[in-house]
Structure 1
Amino acid sequence: MKLLPRPHRQQLPPTRLTLRDLVIESLAGLAQRPGRSLLTMLGTVLGVGAFVAVLGLTTTATGQISHSFNLQRDTTVTINDAGASTASTNTMDFPTQADTRLKQLNGVIAGGVWWTTPLRSPTIATTPDASGQSATDTTLTVYAASPGALAAAQPTLVQGELYNTFHQARGERVCILGTAAARQLGITRLDDQPVVFVNNQPYTVVGTISDIQQLPQFLLGVIIPTSTALADYGPPDAPGAQALIHTRIGAADLTARQAPLALRPDQPNLLQAIPPPDPQTLRDQVNTDLSGLFLLLAAICLTVGAVGIANTTLVAVMERTGEIGLRRALGARPRHIAAQFLAESTALGALGGLIGTSLGVLAVLSTALAEHWTAILQPATVLPAPAIGAGVGLLAGLYPALRAARTEPLDALRR
C-alpha cells in the first residue's frame, strides 16, 4: 500500500488594520448612534470648557487683584508721630501748615493730618440734652481730620460739601458724617442745616459721605477739623496723630523720604514715614489659593466627563458584542478591536475638547467684557486643552477597549 503525501496546510496572511481603516471604522461606529455620541461628547465639552474657563477667569481675576494691590502700594504714604508715642504727655508734632507743606512736594495729590479725638464714650446726639432723645448714640467716634487728609482719603460725597481751608483756619465747629453715622442719628437731609452735639458741643453738619478709599472708620464717625479738635479737646492720645498722603503712581517712595523733612525740618526724626508695604506675599497667596481652588474644580469637571465617556463606551461594547465576535471570527486580532474602541473614545474626547475650548474662551471674554476687565488667557492653558480632551477620552476608553479585546468569538456569536 502506497501512502500519499499529506497535503500542506495553506497559511493565511496575517490580518492588518491600517490607519485609514481604523479611522473609517471608528467614524462609522460613532455615526451609528449620533445621539449617544453627542451626549457622550457633552461630558468632555463641559469638562474641558470648565477647565479653560476657570483657569482663564482665575488668571484674569488675579490680574485685577494684582493691579489693585499695585495701585494701592504706589499711591499711599502714612506718617506716624513718633515723638508722641514716647512722650509722657500728649503732644502734637505735626505743624499746623501740614496740608500746605505736603501739597508742595512733587508727586503729592493731597495730604493732611488726622487722629481720633481723646474722648471716652462721647455722647453724640441731635439735641443738646440727649437724656430723653432717641437720636443719641454713644458708639460713634469723633475723628479730627484736616481738609488735606479728607481729600487724601478720597471720600464719595453724598450731600453738602467737605469742609475746607476756611473752616480749618477759623476753627469752625462743622463736621462731616458717614452715611452709617447719619442714619443712626436720624439725619437724612442737610438743607435745614442739622446740628450734631458732641457732649453738648454743637457742630453743624456740612456734608455726608457714602464711601471712602482710605480710613473706612470715618464712615461710622463724626469728622471735625483738626484746628477745632485741638481747641475743644486738646492733642491726641498716644500713639498720636497720623498723616495720610495720596500721591501719583510711583511717587510714594520719594514722598516717604521727603515728607518728614518737609514737615519738621528742625526735627525730622519726630516723624516716621511708612511707605506702603509691598503686598507681594499676600498677592501671591491670594493667587495661589484661587488657582488651587479652580484647578480642583476643573479636575472634577474633567473627571465627570471621563466617567461619562467610559460608561457610554462600556455600554457600546456590551451592545456590540455580536459585531465584535464576527470581526474576531473573520480574523480581526484583539489589538484591532481594542484600537477601534480606543479610537472612538479618543475622537469623542478630542472633538469635545475643541468645542469645550471654544466655549471656555468665549466665557472668559464675555465675563471680562461684562466686568470691564482685561481678559488674560495663558497659551499654556488654551492650546493643550483639545489634547487634554483627547487624553481624557483615551484614558476613559481603556477599560472598555480591553474588555472588548478579551471577547472570545464563539462566546460572542452565541449571544
Structure 2
Amino acid sequence: MTVAPPPPAPSRRTRLRPVDLLRLGLLGPRTRRTRSALSALGICLGIAAVIAVTGISSSNQAHLLARLDRLGSNLITVSPGKDIDQRLVPLPATAERMLANIAPVERVTATGATKAEVYRNALVPREQTGSISVLAARLNLLDVLHASLLSGTWLDPASENLPVTVLGDQAAERLGVTAPGERVWLGEQSYEVAGIVAANELAPELRTAALVGWPQASAHLGADGTAATVYLRSHPERVPDVQAVAAATANPAAPGKVAVSRPSDLLTARGEAKGALTGLVLALAAVALLVGGVGIANTMVVGVMERRGEIGLRRALGARSGQIAAQFLLEAVLMGFVGGLAGLAAGALTVYAYALAQGWPASIPAYTLVAGPVVSVLVAALAGIHPATRAARASPTEALRSA
C-alpha cells in the first residue's frame, strides 16, 4: 500500500511589527544624513515662512486692535465736502450744535480754520510755512480724541483768550521747538508754546497743527467761527446710525456736500491691505513647500536607485512589496515631519523676535501650529508615493543582479 506524502506546509507570510517598520524607515535618513537634511530643509523653510507671515500679521493686528481699544473705535468725523467744481463747502455755523443733539452722540468737539501762519520767529521768510496749519480748538479736544501731551499743558479757560498755542509733535519739530515756554511767531504776533501734543492715530492732522483757543482765533486770527472738522463720540453700538444721519444733520440744505468718515475704518482698510500682502507671501510659502516636496521626491528616487541591492535581498528573503513601499514612504514622511517641526520652531522664534523688537504682543494663530506639521507630512507623503511604488515593483532578480 502506497502512502501518500504529506501535503506541503503552507508558506508563512512574513510580517513586520510597527517598531520594525519604524527602524527600517529611519535607516535611509540615518545613512544619508546630509541629503536627507537638505531635503527636509526645503519643507522647513516653507513651514517657517507660513508661520512667520501669519504670526507677524496676527501680532500686528493684535497691536492695532489694542491701540484702537484704548483710543476707542466710536469716533466719527464730519468735515466740509466738495461741490461740483471740487471746491470745499463750509459747514454751517450751527453744525456743531446740531450734531451734538443726535441722541446716540455722547461728546462733541471741533477745530476751526484760521487765516494765520506760524513761523519760528519774525525773520523767517513768509513762504517757508513748513506746511503747518493754525487751527482754533475747543477746550475738550484732547478728551474727546483720547489724545495726550508729550509735555506742557493744554489750553484752559484763561489761556484760550490769550496768545498761547499748543503744537503737534511734528509741528514742534519743524519749528525747532523742544520744550514748552518757548515762543513762536503766529499771526504777526509772538505766541507762547504751552504744550506739545503726542501723535494720535485717529486724528493725524493735529500732528502738523498749531492749536489756539477758539475766542483768540476768532478775535485775532481771522477764524469765522465755523467748524472745519467736528469730532463725535457715539455710543459704540449706534455708530452706523449716527454715520447715516450725520451729513443731513450738519447741513440739512446740502447733505451731499458734507464728508462723514470714521477713522477706524481707514485703519481697517489698512489691515485689509496688509492681508492682501500676506496672501502674496503665503503663495510664496506654498512654492517653498512645493520645492521642498520635489527635493524629498528626488532624494527618495535616488535612494531607490542606490539601494536596489538591499531591496532585492529583502525581497528574496520574503519581504512583500507592500512592506518595501511602506518603508520608503515612511522615510519620506519622517523627513517631512522633522522638517515641519523645525519650520514650526524657526517660524515661531521669528515671530517672537520680531514682535519683541516692535513692542507688539506676540500672537500666532493656533491653526497654523497644527496645520504646519500636518501640511509638511502631507507634502512629504505625496512626494514619496512614486519612489515607494517604484521600489515595491522592483524585481528581486534584477535588483540582485545590479547590486
Query: TM class, shorter-chain normalised?
Result: 0.7 to 0.9
Task: Measure the CA separation in 1 of the matches of 2:184 and 2:59.
Answer: 48
In structure 2, the CA distance between the partners of 1:184 and 1:336, relative to structure 1 (3 Å rule), is closer
Alignment of 1:197-236 (within 5 A): 197-198=186-187, 200-236=188-224
In structure 2, the CA distance between the partners of 1:32 and 1:162, relative to structure 1 (3 Å rule), is same
**How far off is 1:232 after superposition?**
2.5
Match of 1:159 among 134, 140, 151: 151
Whether 2:265 is the aligned partner of 1:279: answer: yes
Task: Measure the CA separation in 1 of the matches of 2:376 and 2:103.
Answer: 58
Letter in 2 for 1:377: P
Q: Report if aligned partners of 1:118, 1:236 keep a CA contact under 8 Å in 2.
A: no
Alignment of 1:9-88 (within 5 A): 13=11, 18=16, 20=18, 22-33=21-32, 37-38=36-37, 40-65=39-64, 74-80=73-79
Q: Report if aligned partners of 1:90, 1:236 keep a CA contact under 8 Å in 2.
A: no
Task: Measure the CA separation in 2 of the matches of 1:304 and 1:394.
Answer: 14
Alignment of 1:361-380 (within 5 A): 371-373=359-361, 375=363, 377-379=365-367
Match of 1:183, SS?
A: helix
**How far off is 1:113 after superposition?**
1.9
Task: Measure the CA separation in 1 of the matches of 2:72 and 2:100.
Answer: 19
Task: Measure the CA separation in 2 of the matches of 1:68 and 1:127.
Answer: 37
Task: Measure the CA separation in 1 of the matches of 2:57 and 2:330.
Answer: 33
- In structure 2, the partner of 1:4 is none
Q: Report if aligned partners of 2:113, 2:135 keep a CA contact under 8 Å in 1.
A: yes
Match of 2:301 among 306, 309, 314: 314
**How far off is 1:93 after superposition?**
0.9
1:337-361 Cα distance to aligned partner (Å, 9 max, x none): 3332122212332344355446655
Task: Measure the CA separation in 1 of the matches of 2:339 and 2:351.
Answer: 18
Total equivalences in the alignment: 389
- In structure 2, the partner of 1:303 is 290
Note the residue ranges of structure 1 that are not aligned, 5 or more in a row. 1-9
Task: Measure the CA separation in 2 of the matches of 1:17 and 1:73.
Answer: 67
Q: Report if aligned partners of 1:91, 1:235 keep a CA contact under 8 Å in 2.
A: no
Q: Report if aligned partners of 2:311, 2:399 keep a CA contact under 8 Å in 1.
A: no
Match of 2:93, SS?
A: coil
Letter in 2 for 1:184: R
Could you state the TM-score of these two structures normalised by the residue count of structure 1?
A: 0.71
Q: Report if aligned partners of 2:77, 2:260 keep a CA contact under 8 Å in 1.
A: yes
**How far off is 1:153 after superposition?**
3.8
Q: Report if aligned partners of 1:108, 1:255 keep a CA contact under 8 Å in 2.
A: no
Match of 2:140, SS?
A: helix
Match of 2:133 among 134, 141, 166: 141
In structure 2, the CA distance between the partners of 1:187 and 1:29, relative to structure 1 (3 Å rule), is closer
Match of 2:178, SS?
A: coil
Task: Measure the CA separation in 2 of the matches of 1:194 and 1:80.
Answer: 31
1:29-73 Cα distance to aligned partner (Å, 9 max, x none): 444445654554444344334434433444444455566667777
1:118-159 Cα distance to aligned partner (Å, 9 max, x none): 46xx4x43444545x9x9536432222222234434444233
1:213-254 Cα distance to aligned partner (Å, 9 max, x none): 3432332232222222222344459x9632223467557568
Q: Report if aligned partners of 2:167, 2:209 keep a CA contact under 8 Å in 1.
A: yes
1:269-319 Cα distance to aligned partner (Å, 9 max, x none): 799794738839837834641441342243133224323322332332233
1:183-230 Cα distance to aligned partner (Å, 9 max, x none): 333333444x413133x2333322223423343233223222222222
In structure 2, the CA distance between the partners of 1:225 and 1:396, relative to structure 1 (3 Å rule), is same
**How far off is 1:174 after superposition?**
1.8
1:54-95 Cα distance to aligned partner (Å, 9 max, x none): 33444444455566667777331224479x99xx99785148
Q: Report if aligned partners of 1:158, 1:209 keep a CA contact under 8 Å in 2.
A: yes
- In structure 2, the partner of 1:7 is none
Alignment of 1:293-372 (within 5 A): 293-330=280-317, 332=319, 334-354=321-341, 356-357=343-344, 360=347, 371-372=359-360
Match of 1:74, SS?
A: coil
Percent sequence identity is 29
Q: Report if aligned partners of 2:73, 2:264 keep a CA contact under 8 Å in 1.
A: no
Could you state the TM-score of these two structures normalised by the residue count of structure 2?
A: 0.72
Q: Report if aligned partners of 2:112, 2:135 keep a CA contact under 8 Å in 1.
A: yes
Letter in 2 for 1:195: V
Note the residue ranges of structure 2 that are not aligned, 5 or more in a row. 1-7
Q: Report if aligned partners of 1:69, 1:279 keep a CA contact under 8 Å in 2.
A: no
Whether 2:286 is the aligned partner of 1:292: answer: no
Root mean square deviation of aligned Cα: 4.9
Task: Measure the CA separation in 1 of the matches of 2:10 and 2:264.
Answer: 77
- In structure 2, the partner of 1:93 is 93
**How far off is 1:331 after superposition?**
5.2
Letter in 2 for 1:27: L
Whether 2:184 is the aligned partner of 1:195: answer: yes
